[in-house]
Structure 1
Amino acid sequence: MKYNRLFLCILIAFFAIGCKQKSTSKISYERPNIIFIMSDDHAYQAIGAYGSKMNETPNIDRLANEGMRFDKAFVTNSICSPSRAVVLTGKHSHLNGVRDNINVFDSTQQTYPKLLQKAGYETAVIGKWHLKSQPTGFDYWKVLPDQGHYYNPDFRTPEGIVQEQGYVTDIITDMALEWLDVKRDKAKPFMMMYHHKAPHREWLPAMEHLTDFKADLIAEPESLFDDYKGRGRAAKEAEMKISDHMGLSNDNKMDPKIVKSLGFEQFMGWYEGAYRNNLARMTEKEKAAWNKVYGPINRDFEKNTPRGKDLIRWKYQRYMQDYLACIKSVDENIGRVLDYLEERGLAENTIVVYTSDQGFYLGEHGWFDKRFMYEESFRTPLLVRWPRMIKSGTVNSDLVQNLDFAETFLDAAGVEIPKDMQGKSMLPLFEGNNQNWRDAVYYHYWEYPGIHAVKRHYGLRTKTHKLIHFYYDIDEWELYDLEKDPNEMMNLIDDPSYELVKQDLIKKLENLRKQYHDTDSLNQAILKSDLNR
């Protein structure tokens, strides 16, 4: 009897230890492969599955048609490096240490790739990294240095810098497929971060797509000529207007000599250098193809120079034509990866996620770039396909964030989620269960003073309202009714009819800041360190 009891105790202890490593979804399945696809600055407005009228994205749409489309997916900090650090750690910027594009990611800290690797996954990151430090937690890595280049790009590897010939989106996909087919250990489940540079500024299309949108007239957003009435200083003072801050040379591909001869002043001194550096990356054959397309555009601009609102419209069209052409390459290459999974019989048990590191302004409010908590940069596309778990063609309207990716991947793999991670596993949402889900998401942007001059701010969004506090050199609050004013044109913070709504949102915001440990004392310490930096 004594030995039977001892054996029973050992069995119970062993079972308890094993349970810790199981998925919280309470569903038994073979551990899935994970392909996490992230582009850079891909606005949801430019995806067919989200209703785009300006372009088609048939391969990205496959993920929506065969999986789940999230209509209320957001970031915690709308800028490249911080977004990537949040994804890796499952923690807000003030805790993972990357609040802006200047901070260096501490690669010794806990990340979901390290935890998956420890649990027996083969891991890889290929493409954009943009965190300055060397990737850790990966069995294989080959990443762009910093922002990287579109044409004939360099890549960082454990052995040093190597240059590849061709177009960056194609090359990243070639490397991803090579790793999947040849280099990985096929005895293990895998997790691959397949990350594109495109469609980041300066929107340089592949040679075969240079002319694809040049004859198109892209519909202008309603707020292209926004005068920012009804909002505070932050929107008025931001330096991301297509009219004043977009470069005719680097962004619109105009020869700097022509720009100068016509009396235009470049907003920033590096614009001309960026234009020439991009051309210098090309082979002679590529330069010839480039000049065949952009030469006539330059000559027409010189002959029929637009001014005033006509210039803004011209710049918008040029911007959007190149931006959409970059997305076309991303979509085609995602199709190559999806086809590979189908051909190798891997699609059924592979989670494929498509998202962007943040949203982007496609002329809304007269802007390009991101950073603000306003919807176009705060919201991001998110499409997830997992045939064994997600019903085809489903749409989710719950509030999710890039803060949730780490927890979701760990949960799907049956790996215990660390208690210090701040997001939530989305597995219950995959199954259609949104009980006890959050009713608000939190945001904090830090990079000011800095490029584009978007002031520091934090805030929250519910399904119906948004509250923002701009601070540092100003102290202004903004409140938006997203049901009545989805374009966020009128600040209601002083509207007496919204007093109860405002007080409720302020209380929610205070609670979220406590929940995520984003305190005023911490902010003061960070501000002091930033001033001394």
Structure 2
Amino acid sequence: MSGTSLQAFLTIILSAFLVNVSDARPGKQSRPNIILIVSDDHGREAVGCYGNKVVKTPNIDRLASEGTRFSNAFCTVSSCSPSRSAILTGMQSHSNGMYGLEHQEHHFSSFDKILSLPVLLEKAGYRTARIGKLHVAPEPVYHFQKVLQEGAVNNPASIGRSPVEMADLCSPVFSESSEQPFFLYYATDDPHRSNSVLANGTPFFDGSRPNAFGNRTQAYPMVVENTFNPANVVVPSFLPDTRACREELAQYYQAISRMDQGVGRLISNLKAAGKYEQTVIIYISDNGSPFPGSKTNLYEPGMRLPCIVKLPNASRKNFVNDAMISWVDITPTILDFADFTGSIKQFQGRSFKNIIEQETVKGWDEVYASHSFHEVMMYYPMRVLRERRYKLIYNIAWKLQYPMALDLYQSYTWQSITKTKSGKLGQRTVQSYLQRPKFELYDLDKDPNELNNLADNVGYKHELKRMQDKLRHFQERTHDMWLSKWNYE
């Protein structure tokens, strides 16, 4: 495609995403405050209220006990920047332009004309503030009125690794005398892996020891560092039950416990300001856990995540909702809470506000996912349709070997696998993990670990064709440039 034709193509796409905000309603006292908590790489298998009896997440669990826990919540892409762009725009990352990680050397950025959640909330009369990790660009697209303190990606010295301190820095937002409601974006670096360094600061990349996950000898301010015995951690089925993996999970749990204390302090400060019952609180993770088989994958561990919503004066508590929701639904839902009345054309998600406390819901039975890159050299586009029973993964560049994220490849867990005779990642062989077929079709009722690919099974050819047609239509309506692969292959 020539430069001129590409520019014309993008112009057509962007024109489809224009939004009329002239009728956005000004702020009024009756509207709730809104807090969106986004942790970094927190898999649902490591949350107490989702069934883990070892990890310590009492504050997240308490939030769930006072609100609604979604049992079928999914990110759209299991990679930090693209996922956060979907959360904050209501659009798939291949539609908003954030194809991969927003690092300076990668230069992935959303299109300039995209209108993000904080920008739209400001137009609706909300005060907007953020703290911690942003990891999306450009700034005018993702503009917040206040940056309480900037986080730094994967830096143990940044505020994002000190969640209780983060929570205290948010207190002025709660106590400010204003008739305008507020929107706070609280985004930790925990429990992301940290840069691999020795105690003396020397980096190491040989996978010879567990990653620290931001943990350090000197405790973070006001944090009680809970340590875990590797013998006691819960090894999920997608990981190998090895000494190396257990030692890394123990470090991971410690980072989760630290992050949970930040959530607790944030809620405590909100209550002290008398704003708890006037505030919608949403807790999610951007993507799956930072282990092979989860993060950067669109297998279940990578995309099925925690989502907890606490409503003002909730009528149902400790409620479990099984509606299938996606991170592209987050922005439409928050704008619905904000009583935003603008005409939105860019959204590819929809509001789930009215079903949060419903016992039985209809029409929430499928989600779509889209991965293109992690780092710029890690090109491996995948498109996914996930239904209640069946799941279809389309590996667009299937002839390539699956490229692993550098921190996962260098991890103690992965390197220990490569040194064993079994060569297995959980129940999956290393070979099948690295070399994938064009289509993967799974019956999740019979095969929850996604091990038995039915795409070549003649007994499932009708299911395969039906889901392929739906997936292709998804690519058409989201203006996916990878749609062309259907035509020339």
TM-score range, shorter chain: 0.7 to 0.9
Alignment of 1:266-345 (within 5 A): 313-345=242-274
Report matched runs for 1:394-413 at 5 Å: 394-413=319-338
Q: 1:349 aligns with which of 275, 278, 283?
A: 278
**Aligned mates of 1:445, 1:38 — CA distance in 2:** 19
**Aligned pairs (5 A) from 1:247-266:** none
State yes or no: 1:114 paired with 2:122: no
Deviation at 1:354, TM superposition (A): 0.4
User: Is contact 2:391–2:444 with CA below 8 Å preserved after alignment?
Assistant: yes
Contact preservation (8 Å) 1:83, 1:357: yes
Aligned length: 400
Describe the SS at the equivalent of 2:469.
Answer: helix
Q: In the alignment, residue 200 of structure 1 is paired with which amino acid?
A: H
Does residue 137 (structure 1) correspond to residue 139 (structure 2)? The answer is no
Task: Indicate how the Cα distance of structure 1 residues 444 and 325 shifts in structure 2: closer, same or farther if over 3 A, else same.
Answer: same
Are the equivalent residues in 2 in contact too, given 1:422–1:516 (CA < 8 A)?
A: yes
Q: Secondary structure at the match of 1:398?
A: strand
**Alignment partners' CA distance in 1, 2:25 and 2:322:** 27
Partner residue in 1 for 2:449: 487
Aligned match for 1:196, one of 188, 203, 210: 188
CA separation in 1, counterparts of 2:266 and 2:316? 21
RMSD: 3.0
CA distance in 1, matches of 2:300, 2:444: 9
Cα deviation 1:446-465 (Å, max 9, x = unaligned): 117856x5732112000111
Give the aligned residue type for 2:51.
Answer: G
1:231-242 equivalent positions in 2, closer than 5 A: none
CA–CA separation in structure 1 for the residues paired with 2:460 and 2:117: 41
Pair 1:177–1:483, CA change in 2 (3 A): same
- Structure 2 counterparts to residues 373-522 of structure 1, below 5 A: 373-388=298-313, 391-416=316-341, 418-432=344-358, 437-447=363-373, 455-472=380-397, 474=399, 476-518=438-480, 520=482
| Structure 1 alignment gaps of length 5 or more | 1-16, 156-166, 226-311, 525-533
Q: CA deviation at 1:20?
A: 6.5
Deviation at 1:441, TM superposition (A): 1.1
Label 1:29 to 1:66 Cα distance change in 2 as closer, same or farther (>3 A). farther
Aligned residue for 1:397, secondary structure, equals strand
CA contact (8 A) 1:124 1:192 kept: yes
Corresponding letter in the other structure for 1:169: P
Q: Distance in 1 between matches of 2:21 and 2:65?
A: 36
Q: Any conservation in 2 of the 1:355–1:382 contact (CA below 8 Å)?
A: yes
* Structure 1 residues 500 and 111: CA distance shift in structure 2, 3 A: same
Distance 1:387 1:478, change over 3 A: same
CA–CA separation in structure 1 for the residues paired with 2:23 and 2:362: 21
The structure-2 alpha-carbon separation of the partners of 1:60 and 1:107, relative to structure 1 and needing over 3 Å to count, comes to: farther
> CA–CA distance in 1 between the matches of 2:21 and 2:461?
51
1:212 is the counterpart of 2:227: yes
User: Aligned residue for 2:84?
Assistant: 84
CA distance in structure 2 between the aligned counterparts of 1:350 and 1:53, rounded to whole angstroms: 29
Contact 1:358 1:370 in 2 (8 A): yes
Match of 2:276, SS state, is coil
How far does the alpha carbon of each residue in 1:485-533 deviate from its partner, in whole angstroms, 9 at most, with x for none?
A: 1111111111222222222222222232233232545679xxxxxxxxx
Deviations 1:44-70 (CA, angstroms, capped at 9, x unpaired): 111111001231211001121111101
1:262 corresponding residue in structure 2:
none
SS at match of 1:507: helix
2:368 is matched by which residue type in structure 1? Answer: Y
TM-score (norm 2): 0.75
More helix by share: 1
CA spacing shift, 1:447–1:146, aligned 2, 3 Å: farther
Give every structure 1 segment of 4 or more consecutive aligned residues whose post-TM-superposition deviation is greater than 6 Å.
Answer: 17-20
Shift of 1:211: 6.2
> Whole-Å Cα distance in 2 between the matches of residues 68 and 50 of structure 1?
12
Distance 1:414 1:435, change over 3 A: same
- Mapped to 2, the partners of 1:321 and 1:110 lie a distance apart of 40
Measured in 1, the distance between the counterparts of 2:129 and 2:226 equals 34
**For structure 2, which runs of at least 5 residues remain unmatched after alignment?**
1-19, 195-212, 400-436
**Contact 2:24-2:123 at 8 Å conserved across structures:** no
Aligned-partner Cα distance in 1 for 2:374–2:181: 42
Structure 1, 491-500 or 371-380: larger mean CA deviation? 491-500
Deviation of the 1:148 alpha carbon: 4.2
Cα deviation, 1:249-289, whole Å, max 9, x if unaligned, reads xxxxxxxxxxxxxxxxxxxxxxxxxxxxxxxxxxxxxxxxx
CA contact (8 A) 1:449 1:455 kept: no
Question: In structure 2, do the counterparts of structure 1 residues 326 and 358 end up closer, same or farther at CA, with 3 Å as the change threshold?
Answer: same
Query: Matched residues in 2 for 1:436 and 1:419: separation?
Result: 24
Counterpart Cα distance in 2 of 1:328 and 1:518: 39
